[in-house]
Amino acid sequence: MSAPVERGELRYEGKAKRVYATPDPQQYVVEYKDDATAFNGQKRDQILGKGSVNNAITSALYPHLERAGVPTHFIAQLSEREQLVRAVEIIPVEVVVRNVAAGSFSKRLGITEGTLLARPIVEYYYKSDVLGDPLINTDTAISMGWATDEDLSTIKALALKVNAFLTPYFLARDIRLIDFKLEFGKTHDGQIVLADEISPDTCRFWDAVSGERLDKDRFRRDLGNVEGAYQEMLARVTREQA
């Protein structure tokens, strides 16, 4: 953890996080909340300790990703619920990478959950709470001015690099990385960096042995022991490797 940083005005409040300005215009403080929503905000609750678990997991993963060649917004973990990050403008295109069929992919295409995909699939969604994050393609993003062709090439390459790093990282911890969502932002000098979080809120994690769901699907599908699953994922991430 680092020294406290003075919080300025609230710049953005999402479903799971608040973003504050700091005295340095190139840096923000992100605060992780316990609030959980699913199905475009129709299901709401609190998952006790979720904010601190998601902060701890993201704070552990992002430095590894930096070393693997993925630029990120992460600077330092400040406290149990806070991170210092580089100020970025979020690109309103959510990127989902899938290794195994699950969730909306299975539903949309009628493919049984758990079906292994021949190669990772990268999908794009328009980040819009009002519209419920609809599926788009790259032509839509370019045509609407949400990202350039070049931005999207960079984003796709980085998303696949994240997947190539995280898949064996989690497998070494007996976790199958089924799919996950990433968000990217642009710094003041135009660099595209990985922003947001990587946590049980934004990934599907299945226990490699039992198949048990250790992610937000426990909340979405009323599977019970939501807090326990989040704590278990933190324990696996922070587990010493032999």
Provide φ and ψ at 37, rounded to 5°.
-135, 155
Binding track, positions 14-33, relative to ligand C5P; x by CB under 6 A: --------------------
Cα distance between residue 77 and residue 2, in whole Å? 6
Nearest alpha-carbon partner for 182 in 99, 90, 80, 84: 90
Cα distance between residue 91 and residue 15, in whole Å? 17
The stretch near ligand C5P (CB under 6 A) out of 63-71, 79-87, 98-106, 160-168 is 98-106
Q: Which of 18, 50, 204, 213 binds ligand C5P (CB under 6 A)?
A: 204
- The least CB distance from residue 40 to ligand C5P, in Å, is 8
194 HSE (CA, 13 A, CB side): 28
Cα distance between residue 62 and residue 191, in whole Å? 17
Contact 178, 98 (CB under 8 A): yes
- For ligand C5P, the closer of residues 78 and 232 by Cβ is 232
| Window 163-202: residues binding ligand C5P (CB under 6 A) | 179-181, 202
- The least CB distance from residue 152 to ligand C5P, in Å, is 18
- For ligand C5P, the closer of residues 22 and 184 by Cβ is 184
- For ligand C5P, the closer of residues 151 and 179 by Cβ is 179
Residues at the contact surface with ligand C5P, assessed by CB under 6 A: 96, 102-105, 133, 179-181, 202-204, 216
